[in-house]
């Protein structure tokens, strides 16, 4: 079928649906919801069999839904309606929730139901639930709906046999007053639930030391307590604030009135106001822990969870130190297990945007990430594995590829390219790693296509070596079993020797330093050269400036060569 995805942005769910539909042989094109006239034009150009709206905040124009089946993905159970479905589900502490695929009609979220899927809620932020459970359920429900359509079936019946139960109801927009924190009364669980319901966006509005800020990235602060509402300590980027029965770490804040109205470390936003507070080490049990090391059966596991997968200079230096420490242990395999939502999205673009010199900050960041990638590539004492529970983008993909093996959770989506960030050339030894694993021709295609890629395609192209496990727990259980098998395999020594021989041969052919220098020369031009594209693209990205047109890489109906082919075919 020809399927047009209509979305507010090409977000994680839209990317996953794009990847799944393409893998099933559908012709897929994307139009971002910029203006009704643009949507109408896209439909006229592409002539889709179905329009799918995975992530849409406005109504589809009547001229479109009257003439073509439009399926809306709503992150709520059957009957649920309104713009804050998941926010309310978290605040109401629902045990199960769901995703419904409905047909667009004049009334918002009120059309016939084509399919739905349910999932168990997890104590996590809205964006984490969205990236994992909602995305899984939405994909499953949408594929069900499309199967019904292809099979000539209509929507599910409203009454009679097989009728859809509609336990949900209309809920209005969730406002700040619906989830405001009362520090004098709320316990830790309530505070965490309220922040989770609004995280990643819009955050909970709060007042700290006379500043109006939005709270993000909250975790329990075990072992800390004080006068409710008081700030107690700092740890890395986070500040601890007392609740009535304990305390929470708040890792990031957003100050909408400040010069940098996007998420930044809480300690940076509050700055000197925090002088005098005790500092708790980030690697202690009481601290705000971004890096955790575990060891079992000859395998060292490094879990690293940096907000949104953004790896700034300091994060890279700390992770490199933890990696070196892991290599000093008497283990045989090191698994770089990342975080549950993201493995890595490369340099920390928010920190760069807020730096006094974004060019200098970018330069330090790319060098720090390259140091880490180089340490992984040069490891000659252990077999190394990058195990991706969550998505990776740009430099994060190639940082993973620096390991000997890359294992993906089945539903992971990779964005293995840099050019969308203002034509950034990229580093992380991609010019060595990508051709080495994918071959020259595929490497060039991957980089120029600028498309998201599912786990199956990533394995088939050599960007990864294995994929397994749909849920995070299944995935980690299999990772542990496979890593321990690697460590105890009788041929471990032979494998290590083979990898070291292969590295030595590569080094003789072209030293790693040469790849690094060539890449960094291009990056230097991106950061310091006369073309400001990277700085403009980064500013737009971190400030969430909506796109004024859909990139032609995904709006294939606007690609003149493909459009001719489609016209001839129809």
Give the interface with ligand COA as residue ranges (CB under 6 A).
Answer: 11-12, 200-201, 263, 308-310, 345-350, 391, 393-395, 415, 418, 420-421, 424, 542
Contacts of 220 (CB under 8 A, 6+ apart): 188, 192, 246, 247, 248, 249
Q: Which is nearer to ligand COA, 22 or 144 (CB)?
A: 22
Q: Which is nearer to ligand COA, 185 or 544 (CB)?
A: 544
Give the nearest distance from C-beta 97 to ligand COA in angstroms. Answer: 20
Nearest to 70 by CA among 128, 19, 14, 5: 5
Give the nearest distance from C-beta 23 to ligand COA in angstroms. Answer: 18
Q: Which is nearer to ligand COA, 332 or 401 (CB)?
A: 401
Quick check: 554 and 451 in contact, CB under 8 A? yes
Give the nearest distance from C-beta 423 to ligand COA in angstroms. Answer: 11
Give the nearest distance from C-beta 508 to ligand COA in angstroms. Answer: 29
Quick check: 280 and 234 in contact, CB under 8 A? yes
Cα–Cα distance, 145 to 156 (Å, whole number): 9
Q: Which is nearer to ligand COA, 132 or 194 (CB)?
A: 132
Give the nearest distance from C-beta 27 to ligand COA in angstroms. Answer: 22
Cα–Cα distance, 139 to 146 (Å, whole number): 11
Cα–Cα distance, 335 to 137 (Å, whole number): 29
Q: Which is nearer to ligand COA, 71 or 351 (CB)?
A: 351
* DSSP assignments along 322-359, one per residue: HHHHHHTSS-SEEEEEE-SSEEE-SS-HHHHHTSSSHH
Nearest to 73 by CA among 98, 95, 97: 98
Q: Which is nearer to ligand COA, 445 or 547 (CB)?
A: 547
Pairing mode, if any, of strands 69-74 and 96-103?
A: antiparallel
Bin 520: left if φ > 0, else alpha if -120 < ψ < 50, else beta.
alpha
Give the nearest distance from C-beta 307 to ligand COA in angstroms. Answer: 8
Give the nearest distance from C-beta 411 to ligand COA in angstroms. Answer: 13
Give the nearest distance from C-beta 391 to ligand COA in angstroms. Answer: 6
Q: Where are the alpha helices (DSSP H) in 81-121?
A: 85-91
Quick check: 131 and 85 in contact, CB under 8 A? no
Cα–Cα distance, 200 to 433 (Å, whole number): 33
Q: Which is nearer to ligand COA, 379 or 427 (CB)?
A: 427
Give the nearest distance from C-beta 142 to ligand COA in angstroms. Answer: 17
Cα–Cα distance, 143 to 3 (Å, whole number): 12
Nearest 5°: CA angle at 300, between 410 and 498?
Answer: 80
Give the nearest distance from C-beta 395 to ligand COA in angstroms. Answer: 3
Q: Which is nearer to ligand COA, 267 or 415 (CB)?
A: 415
Give the nearest distance from C-beta 83 to ligand COA in angstroms. Answer: 17
Q: Which is nearer to ligand COA, 242 or 349 (CB)?
A: 349
- Tally of CB atoms within 10 A around 380: 11
Quick check: 306 and 298 in contact, CB under 8 A? no
Residue count of the chain:
570
Q: Which is nearer to ligand COA, 460 or 540 (CB)?
A: 540
Give the nearest distance from C-beta 529 to ligand COA in angstroms. Answer: 16
Q: Which is nearer to ligand COA, 32 or 224 (CB)?
A: 32
Phi, psi at 19, each rounded to 5°: -65, -45
CA torsion sign for 335, 320, 401, 28 is positive
* DSSP assignments along 516-556, one per residue: HHHHHHHHHHHHHSS--HHHHHHHHHHTTPPPSS--TTT-G
Give the nearest distance from C-beta 436 to ligand COA in angstroms. Answer: 19
Give the nearest distance from C-beta 496 to ligand COA in angstroms. Answer: 30
Q: Which is nearer to ligand COA, 12 or 193 (CB)?
A: 12
What are the C-alpha distances in Å from 500 to residues 320, 437, 506, 515? Answer: 20, 16, 10, 19
Pairing mode, if any, of strands 113-120 and 453-454?
A: unpaired
Q: Which is nearer to ligand COA, 332 or 516 (CB)?
A: 516
What are the C-alpha distances in Å from 499 to residues 66, 302, 424, 491, 504? Answer: 60, 21, 31, 12, 9
Q: Which is nearer to ligand COA, 277 or 367 (CB)?
A: 367
């Amino acid at each position: 079928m020809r399927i047009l995805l209509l979305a507010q942005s090409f977000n994680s769910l839209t990317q996953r649906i794009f990847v799944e539909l393409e893998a099933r042989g559908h012709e897929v094109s994307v139009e971002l919801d910029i203006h009704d006239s643009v949507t109408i034009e896209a439909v006229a150009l592409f002539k889709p069999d179905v329009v799918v709206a995975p992530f849409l905040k406005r109504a589809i124009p009547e001229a479109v839904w009257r003439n073509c089946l439009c399926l809306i993905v709503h992150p709520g159970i059957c009957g649920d309606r309104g713009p804050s479905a998941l926010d309310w589900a978290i605040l109401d502490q629902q045990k199960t929730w769901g995703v419904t695929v409905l047909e667009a009609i004049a009334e918002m979220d009120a059309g016939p139901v084509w399919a739905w899927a349910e999932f168990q809620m997890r104590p996590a932020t809205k964006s984490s639930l969205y990236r994992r459970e909602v995305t899984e359920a939405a994909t499953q429900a949408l594929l069900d709906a499309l199967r019904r359509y292809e099979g000539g079936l209509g929507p599910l019946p409203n009454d009679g046999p097989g009728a859809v139960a509609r336990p949900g109801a209309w809920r209005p927009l969730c406002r700040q007053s619906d989830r405001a924190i009362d520090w004098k009364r709320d316990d830790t669980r309530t505070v965490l639930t309220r922040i989770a319901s609004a995280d990643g966006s819009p955050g909970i509005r709060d007042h700290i030391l006379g500043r109006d800020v939005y709270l993000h990235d909250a975790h329990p602060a075990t072992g800390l307590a004080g006068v409710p509402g008081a700030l107690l300590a700092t740890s890395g980027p986070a500040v601890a604030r007392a609740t009535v029965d304990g305390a929470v770490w708040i890792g990031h804040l957003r100050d909408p009135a400040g010069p940098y109205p996007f998420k930044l470390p809480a300690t940076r936003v509050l700055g000197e106001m925090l002088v005098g507070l005790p500092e708790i080490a980030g690697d202690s049990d009481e601290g705000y822990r971004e890096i955790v090391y575990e060891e079992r059966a000859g395998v060292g596991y490094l879990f690293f969870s940096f907000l949104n997968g953004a790896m700034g200079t300091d994060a890279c230096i700390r992770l490199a130190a933890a990696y070196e420490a892991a290599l000093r242990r008497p283990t045989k395999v090191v698994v770089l297990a990342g975080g549950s939502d993201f493995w890595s999205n490369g340099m920390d673009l928010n920190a760069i945007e807020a730096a006094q010199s974004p060019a200098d900050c970018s330069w330090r960041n790319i060098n720090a990430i390259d140091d880490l990638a180089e340490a992984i590539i040069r490891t000659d004492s252990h077999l190394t594995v990058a195990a991706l529970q969550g998505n990776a983008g740009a430099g994060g993909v190639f940082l993973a590829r620096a390991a000997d093996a890359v294992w993906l959770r089945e539903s992971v989506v990779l964005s293995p390219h840099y050019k969308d960030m203002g034509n950034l050339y990229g580093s992380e030894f991609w010019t060595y790693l990508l051709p080495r694993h994918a071959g020259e021709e595929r490497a060039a295609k991957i980089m120029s296509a600028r498309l998201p890629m599912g786990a199956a395609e990533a394995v088939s192209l050599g960007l990864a070596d294995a994929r397994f496990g749909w849920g995070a727990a299944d995935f980690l259980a299999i990772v542990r079993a496979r890593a321990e098998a690697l460590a105890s395999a009788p041929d471990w020594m032979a494998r290590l020797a083979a990898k070291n021989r292969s590295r030595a041969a590569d080094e003789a052919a072209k030293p790693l330093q040469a790849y690094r220098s060539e890449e960094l020369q291009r990056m230097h031009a991106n950061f310091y050269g006369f073309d400001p594209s990277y700085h403009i693209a980064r500013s737009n990205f971190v400030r969430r400036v909506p796109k004024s047109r859909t990139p032609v890489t995904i709006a294939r109906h606007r690609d003149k060569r493909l459009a001719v082919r489609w016209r001839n075919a129809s």
